[in-house]
Amino acid sequence: MPSEIPDIVISRLPVYLRALERLSQEGQEVTSSHELGRRLGISSAQIRKDLSHFGGFGKQGTGYKIAFLKDQLRSVLKVEREWHVALIGAGDLGSAIARYRGFADRGFHIRWVFDSAPEKVGRKLGPYTILPISNLSETVRANHVKIAMVAVPAEYAQAVTDTLVASGVEAILNYAPINLKVPDNVHVQYIDPVLHLQRMTYYLSE
Amino acid sequence: MPSEIPDIVISRLPVYLRALERLSQEGQEVTSSHELGRRLGISSAQIRKDLSHFGGFGKQGTGYKIAFLKDQLRSVLKVEREWHVALIGAGDLGSAIARYRGFADRGFHIRWVFDSAPEKVGRKLGPYTILPISNLSETVRANHVKIAMVAVPAEYAQAVTDTLVASGVEAILNYAPINLKVPDNVHVQYIDPVLHLQRMTYYLSE
């Protein structure tokens, strides 16, 4: 498998995987680049080109075996395994994240929830006992945690991120409404639904 | 103001607006394309070019007046007003969305929450009384609702979307893990945090 797959291709693979999982649930066993393209609004040529980076999983005319292609994509994306995740922030948003079952269903298990507020530490949040932020660095190091979700107020997000990075975290899902500074070897993805809403209002009729 | 601003520019404006709001909160009154660029990891040339689509809000050497630029961006994006939003789905995810205060804080007010489950209809969810999905079309039409959030299971998301579009909704924030088909005049943005996690795991060290 080639080591250098363009980032833009990698960013599309989870979308393909999600569509394949959906097709599986619908009872389908084989698909084509055309069918995937129609479902996703992506050209079939683009899909074939993206998948060809991994040696080509399908043949013209016979289509893709969904189960096989799913396994291949999971392996490429390293999501065939279970990941343990640290969540920082047990406010409104952090609580919603901790209770959301969609992460564990797809292989991302929140194992630890941290907060800095003394009145929250030790309290239960769903299945978790909220841990003090002073334990964050030690916990991340001891458990070789690679993935963290940041759901603290904007003004604390960079400091929390710096601690995470210094402790070995390499991937951060940031819910705080602020852009984070991280070294090149650390990846950040942003979740801010209001940004997405604001990307649409421009187009609305009066 | 020109009517045709490239989509890619529009998609960056909410990020600029968020950074400017942050700078305001920090007490700053003037900024520069260089400072914004450093904060956002975007080149200052790109920022100046993006903002020049609106006639140029700043001058070389003097910087941007933050309050003025914020107002301009809000006006361009049509977020200087309050938007009323319908939320469809009052399960785990819909409940978390309904309780999240970050939407109203930034001008997006969830006004109605719908669900199809008879046992949920009529129940309270935070400040909302859950409405039957059979009322969706009428409510959207009567109130000229333009924006909806979809937080139903994947298998119902397309049907709900079809109803929304037929009733006049033009912008959908979709939390269901499925790609939606909509006419060209309707905009969809997707929130699926697991996709974002899967975009990072590829890069993690073993």
| pLDDT for residue B111 is more than 80 | yes
Chain B interface includes A199 (CB < 8 A): yes
Strand residues in B53-178 grouped as ranges (E): 64-65, 83-88, 108-115, 124-125, 128-129, 131-132, 147-150, 171-174
pTM listed for this prediction: 0.86
Is the CB of residue A86 less than 8 Å from the CB of residue A136? yes
Residue A59's pLDDT is what?
62
HSE, CB side, 13 Å, CA atoms: give it for residue A108.
27
Whole-complex ipTM: 0.93
> What is the spatial distance between Cα A175 and Cα A157, in angstroms, rounded to a whole number?
9
Quick check: A202 and B108 CB within 8 A?
no
pLDDT in tens, chain A (206 residues): 445 788 899 999 999 999 999 999 999 999 999 999 998 888 999 999 998 887 655 566 678 899 999 999 999 999 999 999 999 999 988 988 998 888 998 999 999 999 999 999 999 998 999 999 999 999 999 999 999 999 999 999 999 999 999 999 999 999 998 999 999 999 999 999 999 999 999 999 87
User: Using CA atoms, how far apart are residues B78 and A199, in angstroms rounded to an integer?
Assistant: 10
Q: What is the pLDDT of residue A2?
A: 47
Find the closest chain B residue to A182 by CA distance.
B41
Sheet order of strands, A187-190 included: A131-132, A108-115, A83-88, A147-150, A171-174, A187-190
Q: Which residues of A touch B108 (CB under 8 A)?
A: 194, 197
CATH number for B7-77 (one of 3.40.50.11740, 3.40.50.150, 2.40.50.140, 1.10.10.10): it is: 1.10.10.10
d(CA A44, CA A72): 19
A125 neighbors A113 (Cβ within 8 angstroms): yes
**B124-125 and B128-129 strand pairing:** antiparallel
Q: What are the distances in angstroms from CA A120 to CA A35, A154, B81?
A: 49, 19, 36
| Count of Cβ atoms closer than 10 Å to residue A8 Cβ | 8
For residue B181, is pLDDT > 90?
A: yes
Which CA distances in Å does A188 have to A147, A184, B73, B94, B97? 10, 10, 26, 25, 23
Contacts of A5 in chain B (CB under 8 A): 202
B14/A171 CB distance under 8 A: no
Place of tokens 């980076």: A53
Asked if the C-beta of B4 comes within 8 angstroms of chain A's C-beta atoms, the answer is: no
Chain A partners within 8 Å of B78 (Cβ)? 201-202, 204
B19, B202, B205: residue with CB nearest A179: B19
The predicted structure's pLDDT at residue B58: 59
Which pLDDT score is estimated for B60? 61
Contacts of A196 in chain B (CB under 8 A): 173, 189-191
Measured in whole angstroms, the distance separating CA B175 from the mean position of its chain's CA atoms is 12
Tell me what the mean pLDDT of segment B4-19 comes to: 92
Architecture of the domain defined by A7-76:
Orthogonal Bundle (1.10)
- Cβ of B193 within 8 Å of Cβ of A146? The answer is no
Q: Could you tell me which residue, B182 or A62, shows the higher pLDDT?
A: B182
Kindly list the distances between the CA atom of residue B32 and the CA atoms of A59, B17, B19, B59, B121, in Å, as whole numbers in the listed order.
Answer: 53, 13, 12, 9, 51
Mean pLDDT on B89-97: 90
Q: Do A102 and B96 touch (CB under 8 A)?
A: no
Contacts of A42 (CB under 8 A, 6+ apart): A12, A15, A36
Query: pLDDT at position A4, please?
Result: 79
Q: Within chain A, how many helices (H) and strands (E) appear?
A: 9, 10
Establish if A41 touches chain B: CB-CB under 8 angstroms.
Answer: yes
The answer to whether residue A147 neighbours chain B at the CB level (below 8 Å) is: yes
Residue A41 in tokens: 């609004």
Residues of chain B contacting A73 with CB distance shorter than 8 Å: none
pLDDT at A56: 58
Q: How many helices (H) and strands (E) does chain B have?
A: 9, 10
Residue ranges of domains in chain B: 7-77, 83-195
Mean pLDDT of chain B: 92
B102 reaches A (C-beta below 8 A): yes
| H-run or E-run covering A88 | strand A83-88
Helical spans, DSSP H, in chain A: 7-25, 33-40, 44-52, 66-76, 92-99, 102-105, 136-142, 154-166, 193-201
Does the pLDDT value for residue B205 go beyond 60?
Answer: yes
Establish if A60 touches chain B: CB-CB under 8 angstroms.
no
Identify the pLDDT of residue A5.
85
The C-alpha atoms of residue A160 and residue A199 are separated, in whole angstroms, by: 28
- The pLDDT, as a whole number, for residue B2 is 47
Q: Any CB–CB contact under 8 A between B143 and chain A?
A: no
Q: What per-residue confidence (pLDDT) applies to A132? A: 98
What are B31-79's pLDDT values in tens digits?
999 999 998 888 999 999 998 887 655 566 678 899 999 999 999 999 9
| Distance from the A83 Cα atom to the nearest Cα atom in chain B, whole angstroms | 9
Is residue A39 within 8 Å of residue A32, measured between CB atoms? no
| Closest-CA distance of chain A to residue B134, Å | 25
SS3 B188: strand
| B contacts of A178 (beta carbons < 8 Å) | 18, 22
- Non-local CB neighbours of B149 within 8 Å, separated by 6+ positions: B85, B86, B87, B88, B97, B110, B172, B173, B174, B175
Q: Nearest-CA residue of chain B relative to A169?
A: B204
> What CATH number should be reported for the domain whose range is B83-195?
3.40.50.720
Q: Which residues contact B62 (CB under 8 A, 6 or more apart)?
A: B30
The reported pLDDT for the residue numbered A101 is 83
**A79 touching chain B per CB within 8 A:** yes
